[in-house]
Amino acid sequence: MTITKKLDGDTLTIAVDGWLDTMTAPEFHKEVEDLGAAKNVVLDFKGLEYISSAGLRETVALFRVVNANGGAFSVRNVDRKVMDVFTLTGFDKKFEIRAD
């Protein structure tokens, strides 16, 4: 898994490539633990090939932190396989998820 972060004003875009699973979730957590000056977060999953329950848990945890701080949270560039996981778990109704 590769994580790239880009801060633009008060919006932090976090691009995740590879797999977000049990093995990589702790690294993801460590990378997003400190949002710095960011109020809003965009997860860019264009390069995400797979997400497990551990990855979902980290995504929801990040959403809760951003939401508690009054920020906006969205997930972008989600491919069909990953979107199926969000839909099956009902997370597509919790926060904004877009395929583009």
Q: How many helices (H) and strands (E) does the chain have?
A: 3, 5
Measured between alpha carbons, how far is 9 from 100 in angstroms, rounded to an integer?
A: 22
Residue 42 is predicted with a pLDDT of: 98
Which three-class secondary structure state does DSSP give residue 62?
Answer: helix
Kind and range of the H or E run holding 27: helix 25-32
Q: In this predicted structure, what is the pLDDT of residue 37? A: 87
Digit-by-digit pLDDT tens for the chain (100 residues) are: 999 999 999 999 999 999 999 999 999 999 999 998 899 999 999 999 999 999 999 999 999 999 999 999 999 999 999 999 999 999 999 999 988 7
Tell me the one-letter amino acid at 41: V
Q: How far apart are alpha carbons 42 and 18 in whole angstroms?
A: 17
